[in-house]
Chain A
Amino acid sequence: MGILSKLPPSSFLGFATITFLLFSPNVSGQVARSSWTNNDVEFMTYLVNNRLYENALTLSHLLKLDDSIQADTLWYLVGWSHYNLKQLDSATVSLLNVSKNHSTFAKSRFFSAYCAAHSRNTNSAKNILSAYQPSNEMLDELKRTQLAGLALLTKDLETYNKISSTFSYSYYSFAENQRTLDEINMSIANFNHKSPFVAGLFSALIPGSGKMYAGKVGSGLSSLFTVGILGALTWENYNRDGLLNPKTIIFGSLFTVAYSANIYGSVFSVKAYRDEYNKKIEHRILFNLHIPIRNVFN
């Protein structure tokens, strides 16, 4: 029977065919917490190297991590598994447990800070990086690049300019990203915030112009046509049949609603415009913080 004899009874073909179609209640059993052995550590390393991150985390929950042998290796592997599964808060905490003497200390610190930044814990990210003492010039410049990026995330342009003035742009792994951060800095400095009051005023004078001012040309034109057409219909019926005609009242009411909505919409278009810009910039900054550490450590 060869391979078949090594399978547990539940793997027989027929049973397998049926059980896949039936719902099997998942009864959780009691799990003992025990200490790591060298085989466990090798197995954990194997799991992470083969991208079986969920299995790696299951193993880490099964065994005590705190005072085990090769604790640093294990914290790194757990943190790396969380990072790859996009569980960034857990990744931050786990990677921070890697001690100074371990070979992955630098990588752990940088990725821990990046995960904190991505989770919007910018202050934590700054503290992690500030406390880290780089062991060579390249890592020092990488640290400064990350800190500069964090300053950009919080729109602290003064700090960014101070730090970026020390960039040498001489490390191939992240020179391009440093230049991109400089461009983003210029973009933020020159960003025209636009005023909601001005947008509302424009739309009150010419329907739709406030939205065009906020960068939504298509939406502005649509508002212009809608309000314009309803206005024309109201005027035609008022002109022919007077104010109390039902069609005048209906079209007049629709015109009033559309006109008011146009002004209201324009005010909020400015907020939407700012939010879209901020989101785009945040995404670009995080991307340009992520790529350097991937290039340097992978």
Chain B
Amino acid sequence: MFSTSVGQSLTAEEYLLKGNFKLAALEYEREYFNAQNNYDRYAAILSKTECYKKSNDFENAFSTIDRISLIGLSDSLRFIVLYQKALCSYLSNRYAQAESYIQQIKQCNYFQKWETSVEINLLYTLVLNELQRWNDAKMMILEVKDSLALNKGEFEGVEKIIYSYSNDSLPKLKNEKVLFWVSFIPGAGIVYAGKPAEGFLNLTINMASLAFGAHQIYYSYYLTGYFGGAIMLQKFYFGGRKRAEFLLNKNNYEKALYFNENRKKEIIEVLQKKNKGA
């Protein structure tokens, strides 16, 4: 449907092709407003969602597609809407919600068609990566490989991804409970979190504070020994524990991010090949 305003120079599609996504989104909303039946409305909402995705405005994309209720939709439309909801949830960092939509897709009749199962499973892989369920992600990729929907180039791409999920390549995240117990030894927590030099320095400072305190008390400087030594020890000890926790979280985040970003690039390559072949 085109804009009905007198003097309006471009239609929604024309704005979209020119790359003016904001105006395209507005015109699609106008199509929704002027629509005479539900199917036209759904088409307008789906197109508007597309505009927001293209302009990287994923929050608005999510809130737009969320306007379509799944109740009463035909199978084909339900499938499309669920896919867009899953995709926009992933793009707006709502990974648990994306997984929920994907699970609903897999129960759709349309999922049985092999043309679409590859894309759904690849999206699911991305979602599982973000949820740090890499073993489940690997199972999903294996499902893609086993499907009959891939040509030679795509198959090789998928095999490369599967290789990336070998046990040696998966991110080895440090455990917070282990950190808690290890941190009782000054500096050991920081070493466990991945900074051995800093951990050793922390240990040295803690031992120096303890030695200073003991030394002063031995020579009857009780106030200096207690307040000088013990308080320094307390500050560096608990400071070291907090530092270890921060480092652990930072390192775990970076490892997961690095792995996930590389898998994302590989999956995009497979999809690009698939699209060229489509």
Q: Is the CB of A59 within 8 A of B26?
A: yes
Q: Which residues of B contact A11 (CB under 8 A)?
A: 46-47, 50
Q: Which residues of B contact A58 (CB under 8 A)?
A: 22-23, 25-26
Main secondary structure of the interface of A (DSSP, over half): helix
Q: Is the CB of A31 within 8 A of B29?
A: no
Interface size of A in residues (CB-CB distance below 8 Å)? 51
CA distance A155 to B268 in the complex (A): 61
Q: Is the CB of A32 within 8 A of B42?
A: no
Q: Is the CB of A17 within 8 A of B119?
A: yes
From residue B129, how far is it (CB to closest CB) to chain A in Å?
13
Q: Is the CB of A27 within 8 A of B87?
A: no
Nearest to A35 among chain B residues (CB) is: B7
Q: Name the interface size band of chain B.
A: 35 or more
- CB of B245 within 8 Å of the partner chain: no
> Which B222-278 residues have a C-beta within 8 angstroms of A?
222-224, 227-228, 231, 264, 268, 271-272, 274-275, 278
* Contact A19:B19 (CB < 8 A) given known A7-B47, A43-B30: no
Segment at the interface with B among A89-97, A98-106, A206-214, A231-239: A231-239
Q: Which residues of B contact A20 (CB under 8 A)?
A: 53, 87, 91
Q: Is the CB of B87 within 8 A of A17?
A: yes
- CB of B55 within 8 Å of the partner chain: yes
Q: Which residues of A contact B178 (CB under 8 A)?
A: none
Q: Is the CB of A31 within 8 A of B16?
A: no
From residue B55, how far is it (CB to closest CB) to chain A in Å?
6
CA distance A282 to B231 in the complex (A): 42
CA distance A7 to B224 in the complex (A): 79
Q: Is the CB of B5 within 8 A of A39?
A: yes
CA distance A3 to B80 in the complex (A): 9
Q: Is the CB of B8 within 8 A of A34?
A: yes
* Contact A32:B7 (CB < 8 A) given known A2-B77, A13-B83: yes
- CB of B13 within 8 Å of the partner chain: yes
> Which B32-78 residues have a C-beta within 8 angstroms of A?
33-34, 39-40, 42-43, 46-47, 50, 53-56, 60, 74, 76-77
Pick the contact of A15 from B60, B91, B275 — CB < 8 Å? B275
Pick the contact of A237 from B4, B5, B221 — CB < 8 Å? B221
Q: Which residues of A contact B56 (CB under 8 A)?
A: 23-24
Pick the contact of B43 from A7, A31, A47, A251 — CB < 8 Å? A7
From residue A198, how far is it (CB to closest CB) to chain B in Å?
30
- CB of B131 within 8 Å of the partner chain: no
Q: Is the CB of B271 within 8 A of A17?
A: yes
CA distance A146 to B39 in the complex (A): 49
From residue B266, how far is it (CB to closest CB) to chain A in Å?
11
- CB of A247 within 8 Å of the partner chain: yes
B26, B53, B221 — most chain A CB neighbours (10 Å): B26
CA distance A232 to B223 in the complex (A): 7
Binding site for B on A (CB under 8 A): 2-4, 6-8, 10-11, 13-29, 31-32, 34-35, 37, 39-40, 42-43, 46-47, 52, 54-55, 58-59, 62-63, 229, 232-233, 236-237, 240, 247, 251
Known: A37-B4, A236-B224, A240-B221. 11 other contacts (CB 8 A): A6-B40, A16-B50, A17-B275, A24-B55, A24-B56, A27-B20, A29-B23, A34-B7, A39-B5, A58-B23, A233-B223
The 7 closest A-B pairs by CB, nearest first: A34-B7, A27-B19, A29-B18, A6-B43, A32-B9, A29-B20, A236-B223
Q: List 27 A-B contacts (CB under 8 A).
A: A3-B42, A3-B43, A6-B39, A8-B16, A8-B50, A14-B275, A14-B278, A16-B53, A17-B119, A19-B53, A20-B53, A21-B264, A21-B268, A22-B268, A24-B54, A26-B19, A29-B15, A29-B20, A32-B7, A34-B6, A34-B9, A37-B5, A39-B5, A40-B5, A55-B25, A237-B221, A251-B224
